[in-house]
């Protein structure tokens, strides 16, 4: 029979494996999650309910989703969505059962950095090999009829089929982990961390996501404000300002193209129209999503599993050809909850974000601020809880950060 101390160690290692494999293909991460669940069940007696409201959001969201199965128009799809969101319950219940110190929590967070670093190197190596073997930076994508650069956006993350925005969020949070307690490291470690920070900044640039660049800029500015409360080393401040300069410059360049014409669109234009761009196509999706919300129960929404069916119907009704062909989701987490769970769902989401931001600011918690800011901003352009890559990342990291308060 395994001793209690050995079970605790294996439990700790299993969760570290979950965090480390987040940037890797989902199969590896799923295996790690099953191992973590196994050791968590051995510590099931440690399951306790925390008194803090912000711990309960994902649990509340799961309950609202389960309740919505009673009125959804597509029960089969709804059950699949519930299965996908089981991570909300798994990490809510089992992360608090970990018998680990704050030092071990920091080690787990560092594992996430190492995982992201390995994957980033792999993407860079793959893009370089493709360039070397083909003699061209570009490859033609027959789906959207454009030439894609091996080193940019979705083509860059294609080897693992990770959405560019998700990997961008991973790199931003990894950068925050490197900055966290940076001053407590030895000089050699600081140099290594500084080089990795620069490499991650390059990776964030290559991913070309406006939302990711925005949150990167904001969390770095927040970190600068925390420096003002410490003894400022101007060399370190200069390095940080250089790191901030890159996303700030890209942010400005991307913002400049947002003139009036970019916002204009005709919803009936076909998939090959050159008038579509990444912004106005989202506006068209949001227009349809709001119409779906108005046509259904505004208090409790259309129900889990029914949202995509309702959107497809609206695309047909408005003759949104590209939406019909590609079966777009809302590409906005706020609108997704508004359509799926109604005002109750989006209200719960907003309260969670406000409470999390308030706690991070009142406790000066840089990592909590970073994860909540990331959820808040990236929710505007993506359904970040629509894929396992987003669900597992945010829920596991979120509850790991909150676990530090129980260890203090």
Please write the tens of the pLDDT for every residue from 40-83: 998 877 666 665 667 788 888 889 999 999 999 999 999 999 98
Report the pLDDT value the prediction gives residue 317, as an integer from 0 to 100.
Answer: 93
Among 117-121, 125-129, 139-143, 313-317, where is mean pLDDT lowest?
A: 139-143
The answer to whether residues 59 and 30 touch, using CB atoms and an 8 Å cutoff, is no
Token output for 155: 């083509």
Average pLDDT value for the chain? 87
> Quick one: pLDDT band at residue 255, thresholds 50, 70, 90?
low
The answer to whether residues 37 and 90 touch, using CB atoms and an 8 Å cutoff, is yes
Report the pLDDT value the prediction gives residue 217, as an integer from 0 to 100.
Answer: 86
Please write the tens of the pLDDT for every residue from 293-346: 999 999 999 999 999 999 999 999 999 988 888 899 999 999 999 999 999 999
Distance of CA 358 to the CA centre of its chain: 20
Residue span of the structural domain in which 103 resides: 4-46+98-256+363-407
> Quick one: pLDDT band at residue 254, thresholds 50, 70, 90?
low
Report the pLDDT value the prediction gives residue 4, as an integer from 0 to 100.
Answer: 82
Residue 11 resides in a domain: yes
Please write the tens of the pLDDT for every residue from 166-206: 999 999 999 999 998 776 667 788 888 889 999 999 999 89
Residue 286 resides in a domain: no
CA nearest to 152, candidates 138, 141, 135: 138
- Higher-pLDDT residue of 118 and 145 is 118
> Quick one: pLDDT band at residue 265, thresholds 50, 70, 90?
confident
Residue 247 has pLDDT above 70, yes or no: no
Residue 140 has pLDDT above 90, yes or no: no
Q: Which residue in this structure is represented by tokens 């979120």?
A: 398
Q: Residue 23 and residue 167: Cα distance in Å, rounded?
A: 7
Residue 13 has pLDDT above 80, yes or no: yes
- The mean pLDDT of 144-170, rounded to a whole number, is 90
Report the pLDDT value the prediction gives residue 208, as an integer from 0 to 100.
Answer: 85
Please write the tens of the pLDDT for every residue from 200-236: 999 998 998 888 988 998 898 888 777 655 555 666 5
Report the pLDDT value the prediction gives residue 325, as an integer from 0 to 100.
Answer: 86
Residue 146 resides in a domain: yes
> Quick one: pLDDT band at residue 23, thresholds 50, 70, 90?
very high
Residue 329 resides in a domain: no
- The mean pLDDT of 253-260, rounded to a whole number, is 57
The answer to whether residues 164 and 389 touch, using CB atoms and an 8 Å cutoff, is no
| The total number of structural domains that make up the chain | 1
Residue 261 resides in a domain: no
Residue 260 has pLDDT above 60, yes or no: no
Residue 399 resides in a domain: yes
Report the pLDDT value the prediction gives residue 246, as an integer from 0 to 100.
Answer: 63
Residue 340 resides in a domain: no
Token output for 233: 């080393």
Residue 278 resides in a domain: no
Residue 405 has pLDDT above 80, yes or no: no
């Amino acid at each position: 029979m395994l001793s209690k101390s050995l079970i605790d160690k294996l439990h700790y290692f299993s969760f570290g494996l979950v965090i480390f494999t987040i940037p890797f293909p989902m199969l590896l991460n799923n295996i790690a999650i099953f191992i973590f669940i196994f050791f968590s069940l051995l510590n099931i007696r440690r399951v306790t309910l925390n008194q803090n409201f912000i711990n309960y959001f994902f649990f509340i969201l799961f309950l609202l989703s389960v309740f919505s199965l009673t009125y959804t128009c597509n029960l089969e799809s709804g059950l699949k969505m519930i299965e996908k969101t089981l991570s909300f319950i798994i990490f809510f219940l089992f992360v608090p059962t970990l018998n680990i110190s704050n030092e071990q929590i920091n080690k787990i967070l560092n594992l996430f950095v190492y995982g992201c670093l390995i994957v980033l190197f792999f993407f860079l190596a793959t893009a370089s090999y493709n360039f070397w073997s083909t003699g061209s930076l570009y490859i033609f994508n027959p789906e959207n009829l454009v030439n894609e650069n091996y080193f940019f956006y979705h083509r860059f993350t294609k080897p693992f089929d990770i959405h560019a925005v998700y990997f961008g969020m991973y790199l931003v949070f990894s950068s925050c982990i490197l900055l966290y307690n940076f001053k407590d490291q030895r000089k050699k470690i600081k140099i290594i961390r500084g080089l990795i920070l620069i490499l991650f900044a390059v990776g964030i640039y290559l991913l070309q996501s406006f939302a990711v660049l925005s949150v990167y800029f904001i969390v770095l500015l927040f970190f600068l404000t925390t420096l003002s409360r410490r003894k400022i080393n101007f060399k370190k401040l200069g390095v940080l300002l250089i790191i901030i300069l890159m996303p700030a410059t890209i942010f400005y360049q991307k913002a400049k193209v947002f003139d009036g014409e970019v916002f204009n669109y005709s919803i009936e234009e076909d998939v090959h129209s050159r008038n579509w761009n990444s912004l106005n196509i989202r506006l068209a999706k949001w227009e349809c999503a709001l119409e779906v919300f108005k046509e259904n129960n505004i208090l409790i929404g259309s129900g889990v599993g029914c949202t995509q069916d309702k959107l497809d119907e609206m695309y047909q009704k408005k003759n949104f050809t590209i939406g019909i062909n590609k079966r777009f989701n809302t590409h906005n987490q706020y609108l997704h909850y508004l359509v799926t769970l109604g005002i109750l769902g989006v209200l719960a989401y907003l309260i969670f974000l406000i409470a999390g931001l308030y706690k991070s600011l009142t406790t000066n918690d840089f990592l909590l601020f970073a994860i909540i800011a990331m959820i808040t901003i990236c929710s505007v352009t993506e359904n970040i809880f629509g894929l396992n890559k987003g669900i597992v990342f945010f829920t596991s990291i979120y509850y790991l950060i909150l676990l530090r308060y129980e260890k203090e």
